[in-house]
Protein backbone atom coordinates (compact mmCIF):
# COMPACT_ATOMS: atom_id res chain seq x y z
CA UNK A 1 0.00 0.00 0.00
CA UNK A 2 1.39 3.42 -1.03
CA UNK A 3 2.20 5.62 1.92
CA UNK A 4 0.40 8.98 1.88
CA UNK A 5 2.52 12.09 1.49
CA UNK A 6 2.21 15.43 3.28
CA UNK A 7 0.44 17.82 0.91
CA UNK A 8 1.78 21.00 2.46
CA UNK A 9 4.82 22.66 0.86
CA UNK A 10 3.80 22.81 -2.79
CA UNK A 11 7.03 22.33 -4.75
CA UNK A 12 7.69 23.62 -8.28
CA UNK A 13 10.74 22.46 -10.23
CA UNK A 14 11.86 24.63 -13.14
CA UNK A 15 15.03 25.38 -15.07
CA UNK A 16 16.54 28.88 -14.60
CA UNK A 17 15.21 30.82 -17.58
CA UNK A 18 16.65 33.96 -19.16
CA UNK A 19 14.31 36.94 -18.64
CA UNK A 20 11.26 34.76 -17.83
CA UNK A 21 7.69 35.71 -18.68
CA UNK A 22 5.24 36.73 -15.93
CA UNK A 23 3.81 33.22 -15.64
CA UNK A 24 7.16 31.90 -14.43
CA UNK A 25 7.00 34.26 -11.48
CA UNK A 26 3.32 33.56 -10.89
CA UNK A 27 4.16 29.87 -10.56
CA UNK A 28 7.03 30.72 -8.24
CA UNK A 29 4.72 32.80 -6.08
CA UNK A 30 2.10 30.05 -5.91
CA UNK A 31 4.66 27.49 -4.76
CA UNK A 32 6.05 27.20 -1.26
CA UNK A 33 9.41 25.94 -2.52
CA UNK A 34 10.85 26.61 -5.99
CA UNK A 35 13.61 24.26 -7.11
CA UNK A 36 16.01 25.59 -9.75
CA UNK A 37 16.81 22.59 -11.91
CA UNK A 38 20.37 23.65 -12.70
CA UNK A 39 22.17 20.30 -12.92
CA UNK A 40 20.48 18.77 -15.98
CA UNK A 41 21.77 18.89 -19.55
CA UNK A 42 21.70 22.28 -21.24
CA UNK A 43 19.82 22.47 -24.52
CA UNK A 44 21.25 25.06 -26.87
CA UNK A 45 18.83 27.70 -28.13
CA UNK A 46 16.49 26.95 -25.25
CA UNK A 47 14.76 29.47 -22.99
CA UNK A 48 17.79 29.25 -20.71
CA UNK A 49 19.64 31.56 -23.09
CA UNK A 50 16.95 33.55 -24.86
CA UNK A 51 13.58 35.22 -24.50
CA UNK A 52 11.25 37.69 -26.19
CA UNK A 53 10.60 41.40 -25.82
CA UNK A 54 8.44 43.81 -27.81
CA UNK A 55 10.22 45.92 -30.40
CA UNK A 56 8.36 48.27 -32.76
CA UNK A 57 5.12 46.33 -32.44
CA UNK A 58 6.60 42.88 -33.01
CA UNK A 59 8.31 40.15 -31.02
CA UNK A 60 12.09 40.26 -30.88
CA UNK A 61 14.19 37.41 -29.51
CA UNK A 62 17.25 38.26 -27.41
CA UNK A 63 19.80 35.45 -27.30
CA UNK A 64 22.89 35.16 -25.10
CA UNK A 65 25.68 33.42 -27.02
CA UNK A 66 27.30 30.56 -25.09
CA UNK A 67 30.34 28.35 -25.42
CA UNK A 68 29.20 25.03 -26.86
CA UNK A 69 31.90 23.58 -29.10
CA UNK A 70 32.75 20.12 -27.79
CA UNK A 71 30.36 20.66 -24.86
CA UNK A 72 27.23 18.87 -26.04
CA UNK A 73 26.59 17.24 -22.68
CA UNK A 74 27.33 20.17 -20.37
CA UNK A 75 24.96 20.92 -17.52
CA UNK A 76 23.10 24.19 -17.17
CA UNK A 77 25.22 25.32 -14.22
CA UNK A 78 28.42 24.88 -16.26
CA UNK A 79 27.44 26.87 -19.37
CA UNK A 80 29.70 29.85 -20.00
CA UNK A 81 28.78 33.05 -21.82
CA UNK A 82 30.70 33.27 -25.10
CA UNK A 83 30.72 37.05 -25.43
CA UNK A 84 30.03 39.22 -22.38
CA UNK A 85 29.33 42.12 -24.76
CA UNK A 86 25.95 40.46 -25.39
CA UNK A 87 24.89 41.81 -22.01
CA UNK A 88 25.42 45.45 -22.88
CA UNK A 89 23.87 44.89 -26.30
CA UNK A 90 20.79 43.36 -24.72
CA UNK A 91 20.37 46.19 -22.26
CA UNK A 92 20.64 48.75 -25.05
CA UNK A 93 18.03 46.82 -27.03
CA UNK A 94 15.73 46.62 -24.02
CA UNK A 95 16.19 50.33 -23.30
CA UNK A 96 15.51 51.22 -26.94
CA UNK A 97 12.37 49.09 -26.91
CA UNK A 98 10.86 50.38 -23.67
CA UNK A 99 12.37 53.80 -22.91
CA UNK A 100 9.13 55.54 -23.94
CA UNK A 101 6.81 53.20 -22.06
CA UNK A 102 5.22 54.59 -18.90
CA UNK A 103 6.99 52.51 -16.27
CA UNK A 104 10.34 51.33 -17.65
CA UNK A 105 12.03 53.86 -15.36
CA UNK A 106 11.05 51.68 -12.40
CA UNK A 107 13.38 48.88 -13.49
CA UNK A 108 15.91 50.55 -15.79
CA UNK A 109 18.58 51.24 -13.16
CA UNK A 110 18.34 47.75 -11.68
CA UNK A 111 18.60 46.13 -15.08
CA UNK A 112 21.49 48.37 -16.06
CA UNK A 113 23.42 47.36 -12.95
CA UNK A 114 22.96 43.66 -13.75
CA UNK A 115 23.83 44.00 -17.41
CA UNK A 116 26.93 46.04 -16.59
CA UNK A 117 28.32 43.06 -14.68
CA UNK A 118 30.70 40.69 -16.45
CA UNK A 119 29.12 37.33 -15.73
CA UNK A 120 31.14 34.35 -16.87
CA UNK A 121 28.35 31.78 -16.51
CA UNK A 122 24.89 31.96 -17.98
CA UNK A 123 23.22 30.73 -14.79
CA UNK A 124 24.71 33.59 -12.77
CA UNK A 125 23.18 36.10 -15.17
CA UNK A 126 19.83 34.31 -15.16
CA UNK A 127 19.65 34.04 -11.39
CA UNK A 128 20.63 37.69 -10.94
CA UNK A 129 17.74 38.70 -13.21
CA UNK A 130 15.28 36.26 -11.61
CA UNK A 131 16.19 37.47 -8.11
CA UNK A 132 15.81 41.08 -9.21
CA UNK A 133 12.24 40.54 -10.40
CA UNK A 134 11.44 38.21 -7.50
CA UNK A 135 12.35 40.99 -5.09
CA UNK A 136 10.40 43.80 -6.74
CA UNK A 137 7.36 41.53 -7.09
CA UNK A 138 7.68 40.74 -3.36
CA UNK A 139 7.74 36.98 -3.85
CA UNK A 140 8.67 35.21 -0.61
CA UNK A 141 8.97 31.67 -1.99
CA UNK A 142 12.04 29.75 -0.87
CA UNK A 143 14.46 28.87 -3.71
CA UNK A 144 16.55 25.70 -3.66
CA UNK A 145 19.14 24.67 -6.25
CA UNK A 146 18.92 21.07 -7.41
CA UNK A 147 22.72 20.93 -7.64
CA UNK A 148 22.90 21.34 -3.86
CA UNK A 149 20.73 18.27 -3.30
CA UNK A 150 23.24 15.81 -4.86
CA UNK A 151 20.46 13.89 -6.62
CA UNK A 152 20.56 11.92 -9.87
CA UNK A 153 17.95 10.50 -12.21
CA UNK A 154 16.00 11.56 -15.29
CA UNK A 155 12.47 12.83 -15.91
CA UNK A 156 9.97 11.42 -13.39
CA UNK A 157 12.63 9.60 -11.38
CA UNK A 158 14.57 12.83 -10.96
CA UNK A 159 11.42 14.66 -9.91
CA UNK A 160 10.65 11.86 -7.44
CA UNK A 161 14.12 12.02 -5.91
CA UNK A 162 13.95 15.80 -5.54
CA UNK A 163 10.48 15.73 -3.99
CA UNK A 164 11.45 12.99 -1.54
CA UNK A 165 14.47 15.00 -0.45
CA UNK A 166 12.22 17.96 0.39
CA UNK A 167 9.54 15.81 2.05
CA UNK A 168 6.50 17.10 0.19
CA UNK A 169 3.43 15.41 -1.27
CA UNK A 170 2.43 18.07 -3.80
CA UNK A 171 4.28 18.67 -7.06
CA UNK A 172 3.41 21.85 -8.96
CA UNK A 173 4.25 20.97 -12.56
CA UNK A 174 4.37 22.94 -15.79
CA UNK A 175 1.90 21.48 -18.32
CA UNK A 176 4.72 20.61 -20.71
CA UNK A 177 5.80 17.81 -18.38
CA UNK A 178 2.35 16.25 -18.20
CA UNK A 179 2.79 13.60 -20.90
CA UNK A 180 5.92 11.97 -19.54
CA UNK A 181 4.71 12.24 -15.95
CA UNK A 182 1.47 10.44 -16.74
CA UNK A 183 3.08 7.97 -19.14
CA UNK A 184 5.73 6.95 -16.60
CA UNK A 185 3.35 7.00 -13.63
CA UNK A 186 6.16 7.00 -11.07
CA UNK A 187 4.98 10.01 -9.05
CA UNK A 188 1.36 8.86 -8.93
CA UNK A 189 2.39 5.39 -7.82
CA UNK A 190 4.40 6.92 -4.99
CA UNK A 191 1.41 8.84 -3.67
CA UNK A 192 2.23 12.35 -4.89
CA UNK A 193 -0.46 14.88 -5.71
CA UNK A 194 0.34 16.53 -9.05
CA UNK A 195 -0.97 20.02 -9.79
CA UNK A 196 -0.59 21.09 -13.43
CA UNK A 197 -0.15 24.84 -13.38
CA UNK A 198 -1.59 26.11 -16.66
CA UNK A 199 -1.83 29.85 -17.28
CA UNK A 200 -3.51 32.14 -19.76
CA UNK A 201 -2.08 35.66 -19.93
CA UNK A 202 -4.41 38.54 -19.16
CA UNK A 203 -4.21 41.25 -21.79
CA UNK A 204 -2.83 44.68 -21.02
CA UNK A 205 -2.04 47.72 -23.14
CA UNK A 206 1.40 47.40 -24.71
CA UNK A 207 3.18 50.57 -25.76
CA UNK A 208 3.61 50.87 -29.54
CA UNK A 209 1.54 47.78 -30.35
CA UNK A 210 -2.02 47.61 -31.66
CA UNK A 211 -2.33 43.86 -31.01
CA UNK A 212 -1.58 42.21 -27.67
CA UNK A 213 1.44 39.90 -27.85
CA UNK A 214 1.52 37.40 -24.95
CA UNK A 215 4.33 35.41 -23.34
CA UNK A 216 6.93 38.16 -23.54
CA UNK A 217 9.53 38.71 -20.83
CA UNK A 218 8.33 40.05 -17.48
CA UNK A 219 10.06 43.27 -18.57
CA UNK A 220 7.21 43.95 -20.97
CA UNK A 221 4.53 43.64 -18.30
CA UNK A 222 6.27 45.88 -15.78
CA UNK A 223 7.34 48.50 -18.34
CA UNK A 224 3.73 48.84 -19.51
CA UNK A 225 1.69 48.60 -16.29
CA UNK A 226 4.19 49.33 -13.51
CA UNK A 227 5.36 47.30 -10.54
CA UNK A 228 2.24 47.80 -8.42
CA UNK A 229 -0.18 46.70 -11.14
CA UNK A 230 2.11 43.89 -12.24
CA UNK A 231 2.02 42.59 -8.70
CA UNK A 232 -1.66 43.15 -7.96
CA UNK A 233 -3.83 43.52 -11.05
CA UNK A 234 -2.13 41.45 -13.73
CA UNK A 235 0.59 39.31 -12.18
CA UNK A 236 -1.59 37.90 -9.39
CA UNK A 237 -4.61 37.29 -11.64
CA UNK A 238 -3.05 34.96 -14.16
CA UNK A 239 -5.50 32.10 -14.44
CA UNK A 240 -4.71 28.87 -12.64
CA UNK A 241 -6.42 26.01 -14.45
CA UNK A 242 -6.37 22.24 -14.34
CA UNK A 243 -4.94 22.03 -10.85
CA UNK A 244 -5.67 18.31 -10.54
Mean pLDDT across 44-63? 94
Cα–Cα distances (Å) from 82 to 49, 96, 113, 232, in that order, read 11, 24, 20, 38
Cα–Cα distances (Å) from 191 to 6, 156, 160, 229, in that order, read 10, 13, 10, 39
Mean pLDDT across 47-62? 95
Q: Flag whether 222 is in a domain.
A: yes
Residue in 64, 26, 49 with CA at minimum distance from that of residue 221: 26
> What domain range is 119 assigned to?
11-237
Provide the domain count of the chain.
1
* 0.75 exceeded by pTM: yes
Percent of the chain with pLDDT over 90: 61
Q: Flag whether 95 is in a domain.
A: yes
The kind and range of the H/E element at 35 are strand 33-36
- Asked whether residue 4 carries a pLDDT value surpassing 60, the answer given is no
Mean pLDDT across 39-61? 93
Task: Identify the pLDDT of residue 5.
Answer: 57
Q: Flag whether 216 is in a domain.
A: yes
Measured distance CA(14)–CA(135) in Å, rounded = 18
Is the distance from CB of 189 to CB of 205 less than 8 angstroms?
A: no
Give the pLDDT band of residue 221 (cuts 50, 70, 90). very high
Q: Flag whether 2 is in a domain.
A: no
Q: Flag whether 96 is in a domain.
A: yes
Task: Identify the pLDDT of residue 2.
Answer: 45
Q: Flag whether 4 is in a domain.
A: no
Give the pLDDT band of residue 243 (cuts 50, 70, 90). very low
Task: Identify the pLDDT of residue 217.
Answer: 97
Give the 3-state secondary structure of residue 9: coil
Q: Flag whether 189 is in a domain.
A: yes
Of the chain, the end-to-end C-alpha distance in Å amounts to 22
| pLDDT tens by residue, 127-142 | 999 999 999 999 999 9
Indicate the angle between helix axes 122-136 and 22-30, nearest 10 degrees: 70
Pairing of strands 11-14, 50-55: unpaired
Q: Flag whether 3 is in a domain.
A: no
| pLDDT tens by residue, 72-91 | 889 999 999 999 899 999 99
Amino acid sequence: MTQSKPENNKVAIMQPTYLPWAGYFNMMNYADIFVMLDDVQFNKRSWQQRNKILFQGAEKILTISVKSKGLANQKILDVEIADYRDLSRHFEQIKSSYKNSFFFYQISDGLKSIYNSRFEKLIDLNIALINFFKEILEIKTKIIFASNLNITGSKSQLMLNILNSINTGTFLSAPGSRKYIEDEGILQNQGFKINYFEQTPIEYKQFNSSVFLPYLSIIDLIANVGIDSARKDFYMKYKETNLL
